[in-house]
Amino acid sequence: MLSIFYHCVCHDLKIVLRKPAAWVHPILFFILFISLFGIALGFEKETLIKISPAIIWIAFLLTSLFTIETVLRREMASGALEQLLLSPYPLWWLMLAKSTAIWIVSCLALIFFVPVLGLFMHLSWYENSILFFSLLIGSPAITLIGMIGAALTLALPSSGLFLGLLLLPLYVPILILGESTLAAMLSSSLPSFQLALLGAISMLTLSLAPHGVAAALRVAMD
């Protein structure tokens, strides 16, 4: 089973890397989205420090959702998702492997740009590190929840806005915890409680969401 998981992840990554637009465009959107906020606010240091965690988390969420939906719709058009349904291996295990590959492309690639963007938003290296780890810990939950929503809406011709509205209630706790990690540090308290809750949410989604993605995919493909 582990070898199947590894081969599925490698196969999906190779497919994505063959099409640079699939991962370059989200990175550019992420950078431009955050940069425009800095320009609009006139690079006022105090203001940017206060709101930059919320801006970066929202940009991160929107970019991830866009990438997840794009990848799944492209694979549905190519017939790859039908092949997964016919596979003798557990569908939830295959979807976990696919979610891992999408997380690497849609989240991990963005997270490495966060320290640079944080400096652009006048955050210190220590503040950047807290923001970096909060995104790293919370991003698996964002990807797995997004996978469920994207699988449910595959049958719709265009579901970008609907997908965001559908998943918003599930993402609100993650966004609040992610933004509050840096707010807690700025108020001279350790953000360990927020990071622990983010980790717990990610572990919970990791154990439950693959089964939900598999069930949603079966419903959408019927």
Percent above pLDDT 70 for the chain: 89
Q: For residues 106 and 67, what is the distance between their CA atoms, to the nearest angstrom?
A: 6
| Cβ atoms of residues 109 and 170 within 8 Å | no
Query: Quick one: pLDDT at residue 20?
Result: 73
Query: Quick one: pLDDT at residue 15?
Result: 82
Residue 6 confidence (pLDDT) above 80: yes
Q: For residues 22 and 83, what is the distance between their CA atoms, to the nearest angstrom?
A: 22
Q: For residues 186 and 171, what is the distance between their CA atoms, to the nearest angstrom?
A: 23
Place of tokens 């089964």: 211
Mean per-residue pLDDT of the chain: 82
Residue 103 confidence (pLDDT) above 80: yes
- 39-75 per-position pLDDT tens digit: 777 767 777 777 888 888 888 988 888 888 888 888 8
Structure tokens at 134: 């909060």
Structural domain spans, the chain: 2-221
Q: State which amino acid sits at residue 98.
A: K
In this structure, what DSSP letter does residue 79 have?
A: T
Specify the range with the lowest mean pLDDT, choosing from 152-156, 160-164, 213-217. 160-164
Q: What is the mean pLDDT of residues 109-113?
A: 87
Between 153 and 187, residue with greater pLDDT: 153
Sign of the alpha-carbon torsion through 29, 35, 38, 39: negative
Query: Quick one: pLDDT at residue 136?
Result: 92
| CA geometry: angle 33, 75, 208, nearest 5 deg | 80
Q: For residues 57 and 176, what is the distance between their CA atoms, to the nearest angstrom?
A: 9
Q: For residues 101 and 79, what is the distance between their CA atoms, to the nearest angstrom?
A: 18
pTM here is 0.87
Query: Quick one: pLDDT at residue 201?
Result: 92
Structure tokens at 9: 């992840």
